[in-house]
Amino acid sequence: MKEFLISKNDEGQRLDRFIGKAVPLLPASLTQKYIRLKRIKVNGKGSRRDYKLVAGDVLQFYVNDEFFDRPTERNAHLAVSEPKLDIVYEDENILLVNKAAGVLCHSAGEWTHNTLIAHIQAYLRKNGEWRPEDENSFVPALCNRIDRNTSGIVIAAKTAEALRIMNDKIRDREIEKFYLCIVHGVPRPASGTLTGYIFKDASKNQVYVKKTPEKGAKTAVTRYRTLKSKGGLSLLECELLTGRTHQIRAQLSDAGFPLLGDGKYGREAKNRPFGESRQALCSYRLRFAFKTDAGALEYLNGKEFAVKDVDFVSKYFS
């Protein structure tokens, strides 16, 4: 049992809203349930969720100790009572999830439970595939990441062995990744390869494309082909031959064909008529193309997975 003494600074708040701040790992749905069941009491008695706290009140919590841990990326899953995932593929080793645009893969410097990894961990905990109390160090983890405002397939490992193998395969470029995007204009030629050098300015979280090698810049290669063009926009499929930060966005913009909705590398004047606030970019397809032994994941070699529906494609090119 845990107790909280309400101070002068806390009074006047609704009981349920105070709990949301004081015990952030306790999901709102459980808060309401525990208030109803009198597992959360005020001054030793049951209370209502809209009770206004008074200085001197004592709150008693008859709930699991884990909800009182310090909130971190590692235990954010505790605050997710109903995990929401768009699962593309799943087996005993890995999970392929279609991340929606606007969702963070991990928290970005500020604690939050509304991340892809938190929902994945909550999902695996809920279905019994992951029991954190039985693990000494391993937690399910993402093998790759995509930008917050980019949608598409993210790989998660359910076991330490799968995580190790996937990390090796991604590092050795044995997983082929394909993106769909919409750009302003009609590329000429209709297909080709963009090659350059990308320099990252970490302070601005922005990259710059260089034509020649220079200190700190890394080679970036993107293969593209135009699928459709209409109304001043073109739908492209891009294959990443290297995996640099913001590679597709920066290289296409540098080539004169910025992504629709891209506020960082795009053109505001071009984006404004369409009202898009996120770049039209989706990591929609991947292929496991292992060139070396993949051990426990060898069964995935040669398999391909794709997102069935990409919202911006149906919106502009249906």
Average pLDDT over residues 213-235: 95
pLDDT of residue 306: 98
Categorize the per-residue pLDDT at 224 as very low, low, confident or very high, splitting at 50, 70 and 90: very high
> Are residue 179 and residue 279 in the same domain, yes or no?
yes
By DSSP bridging, strand 175-184 and strand 233-240 are antiparallel
Binning pLDDT at 50, 70 and 90, where does residue 304 land? very high
Q: What pLDDT was estimated at residue 296?
A: 97
Q: What is the CATH number of the domain that holds 260?
A: 3.30.2350.10
pLDDT tens readout for residues 45-64: 999 999 999 999 999 999 99
Q: What are the φ/ψ torsions at residue 86 (nearest 5 degrees)?
A: -100, 95
Q: In the numeric block, which tokens belong to residue 123?
A: 């999902």
If asked whether residues 305 and 209 sit together in one domain, one would say yes
* Helices and strands counted in the chain (H then E): 7, 14
- Contact of 16 with 30, CB cutoff 8 Å: no
Domain end residue (candidates: 140, 171, 202): 171
* pLDDT level of residue 314 (50, 70, 90 thresholds): very high
User: Are 140 and 201 members of one domain?
Assistant: no
Residue 256: per-residue pLDDT:
95
The answer on 245 and 305 residing in a single domain is: yes
* Whether residue 74 has pLDDT greater than 90: no
| Domain end call among 171, 199, 228 | 171
Residue range of the domain that includes 25: 2-68
Domain boundary among 20, 45, 68: 68
Q: 88: which residues sit within 8 A by CB, 6+ positions away? A: 96, 97, 98, 153, 305, 306, 307
Mean pLDDT of the chain: 94
Total count of domains within the chain: 3
Maximum CA pair distance of the chain? 75
> What is the mean predicted confidence (pLDDT) over 265-283?
93
Same domain, 141 and 39: no
Give the separation between CA 135 and CA 4, rounded to whole angstroms.
31
Residues 112 and 152 in one domain: yes
Same domain, 193 and 100: no
Whether 119 and 166 map to the same domain: the answer is yes
pLDDT in tens, 166-182: 999 999 999 999 999 99
* 29 and 158 housed in the same domain: no
Instruction: Examine the domain organization and report whether 179 and 312 are in the same domain.
Output: yes
pLDDT for residue 190: 97
How sure is the predictor about 107, in pLDDT bands with cuts at 50, 70 and 90?
confident
**Above 90 in pLDDT, residue 292?**
yes
Q: How confident is the model at residue 70 (pLDDT cuts 50, 70, 90)?
A: confident
Using alpha carbons, list the distances in angstroms from residue 41 to 50, 54, 67. 13, 14, 16
Three-state DSSP at 90 gives strand
Tokens 């909130």 map to which residue? Answer: 71
Indicate if 123 and 23 belong to the same structural domain.
no
Mean pLDDT value of segment 212-240: 95
User: In the chain, where do the E strands start and end?
Assistant: 2-5, 40-42, 58-61, 87-90, 94-99, 141-142, 151-157, 175-184, 191-201, 206-210, 218-230, 233-240, 281-288, 304-306
Within 23-100, where are the H helices? Answer: 28-36
Which of 22-26, 65-69, 137-141, 284-288 holds the top average pLDDT?
284-288
The string of pLDDT tens digits covering residues 244-256 is 999 999 999 999 9
One domain for residues 62 and 81: no
Q: What is the pLDDT of residues 132-155, one digit of tens each?
A: 888 878 999 999 999 999 999 999
pLDDT interval class at 110 (50, 70, 90): confident
Q: Where residue 7 sits, what CATH number does that domain have?
A: 3.10.290.10
Q: How far apart are CA 218 and CA 197, in angstroms?
A: 5
Q: Which helix (H) or strand (E) holds 21?
A: helix 15-22
